[in-house]
Structure formats: C-alpha cells, structure tokens
Structure 1
Amino acid sequence: MTTDGEWDRRSVFRGAAVMAGAAATAPLLSGAATAQAGSRDADALFKAGKFEQAGRAYEEILKKDPTNLHAARRRGHVALLANQFPDAEKYLTMALELAPSDKDTNRLLGDCYIRQDKFPLSVPCWQAAGKDVFAKWFAAVRGEGYQIYGDIARLPWLQMDPSPLVEASVNGGPPKRFMFYTGAPWLGMSAEVAKEAGLSPVAKQQIDYLDGTAWQYFGVLDSFQLGGIELRNIPVEWSETDQVSSAGPNDGIIGTWVFYHLLTTFDYAGRSLILRRRTPESARKVRADAARAGAKPLPLWLAREHGLHSSGSIAGSGTRLVGLSIGGATESAAVMSEETAKRLRVRIDYDRPLETFGHSHPVVVYPCYPKEIRLGDATAKEVYCAANPTSRPSPSGFDTLGAFFHPFYKPYNITLDFTEMNVYIARGKAT
C-alpha cells in the first residue's frame, strides 16, 4: 500500500460501491472560518470551496513572493480542480522547481498529466510522490491512451437497485455486467473477467478491504465496448478478494476516468447511460436540451483524480460545496457528518444505527432526515440520508457540506461536461 493510501482506501472495485458513510465530509464552516473567508485569506477561501477567489488571492501572494511554495502549489491545485490544464501545469511546475521532491505537488502534477492522457509525463511525478505502483502502471500505456471510436452510446440499465448495471464488452468478449460510480477512479473488473480477456498485470498491490484484504492488479486493456462507443488502450484494474460485495452480482465497475473522456449523461429517469464523443455540436445539444428543461449550468470541480463536486445545499444551509457520487450502491440520498446534521438541526435517528463500510473500512452511521437537499433546482424533501459520526476532513484541503448519492438522482437526468466543467441536472428523461 502507498504511504497515504488515499487512492487505495477510496477505490471501489469488483462491484463494492459506495455505502452510507462513504463520503469524507467536513463539518460546516464555523463563524470564525467564515470571518476569515470574508477577509479574503487565501487558505480560508480555499477551505470554504471559494476556488476562484482563492486562486486570485494566491496569485497576489505570488506577486509579492514568487518563492512561496504553498501558494504556487495551491494556485495550481485551484486550476486543476477546474481542468484548466495550462494554468495547472504552470503553477505546479513553479512549485516543483521550488521543491522537486514535494510529494503533494508531484501527485497533483501527475493527476494533471493523466487527465490529459500524458501518461509518460506522469511517471516521474508518481515516483516522486511515492506511488510506484501507479508509475509502473502508467509507464505501461504505450501510444495514445483512451482512443475513442464511435459518436454515441445509449445503454439501457439492466437494473436500478441496489446499483445500476449496464452491459459492456471487454476485448471483444461476450457482454458483461458493469456497475458505474463516480466515486471510483478507473475501469475495474473481476479477476475472472481479466483472465478471460487475456490481461497481464504490470503492477500489483495488496490493500485493506472491508473485513479483510484484497489484491489489486493493474494493466492496459486493448478494447472496452459500450454500445456504440469503443475505448481502446486504457488503464484497467482488477481485483481478488474473499469479501462479498454489497452491490449485487456484477463483473466490474466503470469509474470517473472513463466518464471524463466523454460527455456523460446519467439518465436516471430514463434508466439509461448516454455517452457521447464531445464535439462542439454535441456540447451545444447538451446545453440546448438543458435550457429547454430549465436546467441552469452548475459548476463542476474534479478533485484527487476522481472526486466530483458542485454547489448544493442541505436543510437551508445556503449554497455550499457538495460531493456528487453518481451510481454506486447505497440507500442514502445524501451523507453528511454528524456535526453538520446537528448544526443544521436535521433529525437524526440514533435508535437505528447502520453498520456499513466507508472507504473500505467499517463504520456506523445513523439515519437522518433533512427537510430538503438541493442541487440547482433539483430537490428531495424529508428523504432518507445518513449522518456519519466519524467523518474525516477532506484530503484535498477543502470542506464539503455533504455528498449526494444514487437515490437523490432518480427523478432526474444529470450530464457532466468536463471541458466547460459544468453540471446539468433536469427532471425527467433525457432527450
């Protein structure tokens, strides 16, 4: 396992998806923190999720002190959250010149490169960050990664609960049942499917998983066919564990890395997954469809390789940063820290504790029922949620109000545009 283990513990594979309590949410900002943010303190702005303001504040610091490692790294981090790759590379490279062995900078720059499919450039970054298994993995991707063939795929869901499943073909083989989840980074599959596809590992590691351990193997897949869309030459992971998945029988999991290469619509109301090659025409159609449905664009931020965030609210909190956990398997429409639930006066049912797993580790959470949770104009009232008494601060350095999960999205369709970094959520089926 790597030194910080964040990818390892947060990764979801072989169908083991999000369970209640899996969101690493921080408590609501206190009055003192809000006052700091009002004074435009750069770190307070960043912690509060006010990334544009924080970016400008870090730039002001760098004008006065170009050798400020923290400001350079944070300014690059802000750009990376918005997929602003030229600025991300500029400031992270500046930080790296100040401290070549800094692990945080190297991890962020490695992420910046893999988001652009610049896998060879990411290798020394992962090595310097202490993630040798990923350095070996990405070094094995030869030539152009994530080659896209086809223009659109509409994949009907085989089921809705406990997790949506779609069919896909691995290396031209027979259809397999894959769940999807934006809380998982890569494309993952069972050891049986990997063997059938003829995959060979280029790296491996053993990790803690549920009540035991699991082996993760990493390789490069020739072909992954999703209806009318085929992806070629992509990083892939497969796993072996004696633990039982909570998500039901399936052959693998499709994570955020696949989705951010496409215009992706999770059409919950229409029970389908819609994948489009992103072109100016397809992006215009998404915007036009959203406008007709009355859905305004919401901001999209991508943290730590795969963590999606936008702006939402819980129980009248006002608009704050929230996590978007789409797909997966959970009965909770949102997860928040116990402290946040108490601060917002959300009713918590302590008589019915739920023993589950979060970040692949045991956790006990409690049902709670906020009067409303909201993402743009999409709302759920008095819906079943979960309060986590053991929530940890985000490793990305900013607070989130909570995270919205699978049940919240059921009346809606939600589209992610990773070029403009917008989220569109509209009631009803996608067109």
Structure 2
Amino acid sequence: MTNNGKWDRRSLFQGAALLAGAAATAPLLGTAATALADTGDADALFKAGKFDQAGRAYEEILKKDPANLHAARQRGYIGLLSNRFAEAEKYLKMALQLAPDDKETNSYLGDCYIRQDKFALSAPCWEAAGEDGYAKWFAAVSGEAYQVHGDIARLEIKQMDPIPLVEGSVNGGPAKRFMFYTGAPNLSLRASVAKEAGLSPVASQKIEYENGMIWAYYGILDSFKLGGIELRNVPVGWSSTESGEDVGTDSDGLIGTWVFYHLLTTFDYAGRQLILRPRTPETARKARAAAASAGAQPLPLWLAREHYLHSIGSFAGVAGSRTGVVGVNLGGTSEIAAGVRGETGKQLGIRSDYDREIGTFGSSHPAVVYPCYPKEIRLGNAVAKEVYCYTNPNSKINVPWPFGTGFDAMGWFSHCFWKPYNITVDFTDMKLYIARGKAA
C-alpha cells in the first residue's frame, strides 16, 4: 500500500525483490548486547531481541509512569509479536487512550485485529494510521473471512527454482500456478487471473514499482482451493500496468503469510510438497509429536509487521559468531541461502566478494548486493557452512517504523537454505519445527 502514491513497506511484494534485506530482520546479540541487557533498559532489551525481558521492563516503566505512550505501545507490540492478542490489545488500547491519532499504535492495533479476522474493527485503525487502501479493503470484508474447509492438502511443488510453484484453483476455475512466500502478506493474483475469476476491486491505488508505476487493486475472493483444502471469503490483491497488462507472468499469483497463518503448514522442501491442515489443537498436537519423533526441537516464532516471520538463529565468520533473532523467509525467488547485513558481515569477518556487484531489487526498488560466504549459518539443528549468500553494505542494522521492525537486524534465512528440510510453522503455539528429510 502507499501513502500519497509513494512506496512503503506494503507496496507490492512479488517475492523476487526482498534480497536486499527489507524482508526479515535479526538483532546482533553478543557481549555488548548482554551488557545492555543488564542495565534493564527496556529499549535496549527490545532492540536486542530479548522481548520477554523488554516486556517486563516496559511494565515497570508503566507502573511508575502510566502516561508513557512509548512504553505502552512497545509493550503492546511485544504481545503482538507472539500473537498474544488480549495482551497486545490491552496495551495498544492504553496507548491509544494517551494518543488517539498515533499512527504507529493504530497500525499495530490494526494488524492485531486482522490476525484475528476482525476486519471491521481494523478498518478505522488503518484509516487513522494513514493507510486508506487497507481501511477501504478491510471495511469491505463481510461475514467470516478465511473459512477453512477440508482436512488436509498435500500440494506437490511442481517447480522448485527459480521460484517454487504449486497449483491452486480460483473461484472453481482451472488449476493455476502459485508461488508461495512468507516475505509477502496477502494472497495475490495476476490481473488476467483476477479478471477471469470475475473479481471487482473494492479499493485501488497507483503505486511505484521497479522504476515505474502500476495499479494495485484489492478485493474479496469467494473461493481459493489448494488440493483438499478450500478457503472461502479471502481478501485478495492483484496488479496491472497502466495499460492494463499483467505486471508479471512467472506465476499466476502468490500465496503469502496471511493465508499460511490461518493453517498449520509444513513446507516440506525435501519432499517437494506443501502440507496444509486446519489450525486446530489436535492438528498442532500431531505436528508437535511428528516433529519430536523426527528430532526437531521447537524454536520460538515471532510475527512482525503483518507478515515477517522470525526465530532464533546464528551467523558466523572468521571473527566469531552471533546468535539472535533472524528472519525466516520460506519460498520466494532467491538463489541464496541467507541475506547478511553489511555491518554484520564486517563485524563477524564474513568473506564477501565486493568485486562482483549484483544489481537486483529490494522491496520493489533498485539495490546492489554482493556475494558472501559465512563460515556457518544455523537455525536450530539446521545448518549450512560456507554457503552462497548476499550482503548489502547499505542495508541498515536497525530499520524503525514505518519501514522496519525496530529491532537490530543481522540477517535472514532464504529459499535455498531450506532444501534439505521440512519446516512446520505453528501459529497457535508460535513455534517453528525444522527436521531433516521428508515429512512423515
């Protein structure tokens, strides 16, 4: 979406463009961060990714200063990171009482509502946040959104590279090719597919995209079927050039995080399939048992800024290693195993080839990155050594609202890292399970 026609974090996530690091983030945790943690400084704890400790520190601030807008807003944001909705609403509403027009608070509360499918409640929040497109879109959602029908779907990944593709049906039509990517928010379609499905926009905007202008449209899809799982009443977006043509033709659409957080999904890279199940306590219990039998340890899962997934991981170079919150990008277009912030690469002594400039796009804007080769990257028991990655010297360590998460960023794990594994994302207990080999 845009503000006054200018690109912002929700501009248009087509999956090919998040290589420069605008996708997921990770703080640097080392001796310096530990020293900061000992001071009890709430902001330092938050930036270091110590969210529970930061939450307690903000609570102490609020006990002494109940009118502290920053502390209330940050405490609500921390609850939102873990999908603790009652907690998030409590503190974000407290912040709104202090400053009803605060755009940052309104955007967090709007996100909190859409994660619970409370779209009507979210609309005024997005309007107050200056996101008119979101406000119009979500106000148009009526009835129960994201209705899940069916017990299980096993979708073959028809193509793995350069983009992973699975098949789905739009409004009962013939099979279409969909990329999947957790670096993108909503379900999106090609303009020609939206037209074929009979979709009409409830909101539209003209936005910047890859040095040009396109039209972005937003509507409601009656039915989206993925194998044995059908979703009904689904918010959907599509885009076209100014002349009305499709923006891209590599796929017929993109399945983003909003679809996946309504399901219990296993991204079975090793088995070349997506396994989709309804998100229930029973399916979560079975997933935990299957992960445990496969030797997968539960990792924490955080969801930031509407769709960016995070967990705990590490990067290493010749100068040492660091562990902390890392971005988790599943799917998308990328030949790399991970993205590394420029300053992170220098601090850790990660070997980087600055003689081989690579021109790409980051969040729909031009970017320059360089090959780099960390000694090791790790997420739980999943590890890769001396593997091909990207680094961007101009990518900032900390990107605040409205374009980033607000905590220090080390890097993110990308498409190629996952290929030996199956990954289950549980948005009920907010856990991530990674096991080597095919899913059972």
Category of TM-score, reference length = shorter chain: over 0.9
Whether 1:258 aligns to 2:253 is: no
Post-superposition offset of 1:35: 2.6
**Residues 362 and 332 of structure 1: CA distance in aligned 2, closer, same or farther (over 3 Å):** same
State the alpha-carbon separation in 2 of the partners of residues 25 and 378 from structure 1.
18
Residue of structure 1 equivalent to 2:406: 397
Post-superposition offset of 1:38: 2.1
State the alpha-carbon separation in 2 of the partners of residues 174 and 263 from structure 1.
25
- Aligned-partner residue type, residue 35 of structure 1: A
Residue of structure 1 equivalent to 2:375: 371
Aligned positions of 1:1-400 closer than 5 A? 1-2=2-3, 5-9=7-11, 11-13=12-14, 16=16, 18-19=18-19, 21-23=21-23, 25=25, 28=28, 33-241=33-241, 249-315=250-316, 316-392=320-396, 393-394=398-399, 395-400=404-409
State the alpha-carbon separation in 2 of the partners of residues 124 and 333 from structure 1.
40
Post-superposition offset of 1:22: 4.5
State the alpha-carbon separation in 1 of the partners of residues 22 and 305 from structure 2.
16
State the alpha-carbon separation in 1 of the partners of residues 27 and 118 from structure 2.
36
Residue of structure 2 equivalent to 1:407: 416
Contact 2:28 / 2:323 at 8 angstroms: preserved in 1? no
Whether 1:425 aligns to 2:426 is: no
Contact 1:109 / 1:125 at 8 angstroms: preserved in 2? yes
User: Which structure 2 segments of 5+ residues have no match?
Assistant: none
State the alpha-carbon separation in 2 of the partners of residues 158 and 2 from structure 1.
37
Post-superposition offset of 1:399: 1.3
State the alpha-carbon separation in 2 of the partners of residues 358 and 156 from structure 1.
29
Deviates more, 1:378-387 or 1:241-250: 241-250
State the alpha-carbon separation in 2 of the partners of residues 310 and 248 from structure 1.
32
**Residues 310 and 25 of structure 1: CA distance in aligned 2, closer, same or farther (over 3 Å):** closer
State the alpha-carbon separation in 1 of the partners of residues 19 and 39 from structure 2.
38
Post-superposition offset of 1:29: 5.9
State the alpha-carbon separation in 1 of the partners of residues 375 and 356 from structure 2.
19
Contact 1:150 / 1:228 at 8 angstroms: preserved in 2? yes
**1:228-264: CA deviation from partner (whole Å, max 9, x where unpaired):** 0000001100011389999972100000000000001
**1:57-78: CA deviation from partner (whole Å, max 9, x where unpaired):** 1111111111111111000000
State the alpha-carbon separation in 1 of the partners of residues 23 and 123 from structure 2.
29
Contact 1:301 / 1:421 at 8 angstroms: preserved in 2? yes
State the alpha-carbon separation in 1 of the partners of residues 213 and 107 from structure 2.
25
Post-superposition offset of 1:32: 5.2
Percent identity between the two aligned chains: 69
**1:307-339: CA deviation from partner (whole Å, max 9, x where unpaired):** 100000001523211000110011111111111
Contact 1:23 / 1:336 at 8 angstroms: preserved in 2? no
**Residues 348 and 76 of structure 1: CA distance in aligned 2, closer, same or farther (over 3 Å):** same
State the alpha-carbon separation in 2 of the partners of residues 199 and 245 from structure 1.
15
Contact 1:158 / 1:166 at 8 angstroms: preserved in 2? yes
**1:327-384: CA deviation from partner (whole Å, max 9, x where unpaired):** 0011111111111001101100112111101111111101000111000010011100
State the alpha-carbon separation in 1 of the partners of residues 273 and 168 from structure 2.
13
State the alpha-carbon separation in 1 of the partners of residues 118 and 375 from structure 2.
45
**Residues 235 and 422 of structure 1: CA distance in aligned 2, closer, same or farther (over 3 Å):** same
State the alpha-carbon separation in 1 of the partners of residues 411 and 218 from structure 2.
31
**1:283-305: CA deviation from partner (whole Å, max 9, x where unpaired):** 11111111111111000000000
State the alpha-carbon separation in 1 of the partners of residues 184 and 40 from structure 2.
34
- Aligned-partner residue type, residue 383 of structure 1: V
RMSD: 2.0
Deviates more, 1:99-108 or 1:392-401: 392-401
Contact 1:26 / 1:337 at 8 angstroms: preserved in 2? no
Question: Normalized against structure 2, the TM-score is what?
Answer: 0.94
State the alpha-carbon separation in 1 of the partners of residues 374 and 248 from structure 2.
26
- Aligned-partner residue type, residue 46 of structure 2: F
User: Which structure 1 segments of 5+ residues have no match?
Assistant: none
State the alpha-carbon separation in 2 of the partners of residues 27 and 422 from structure 1.
19
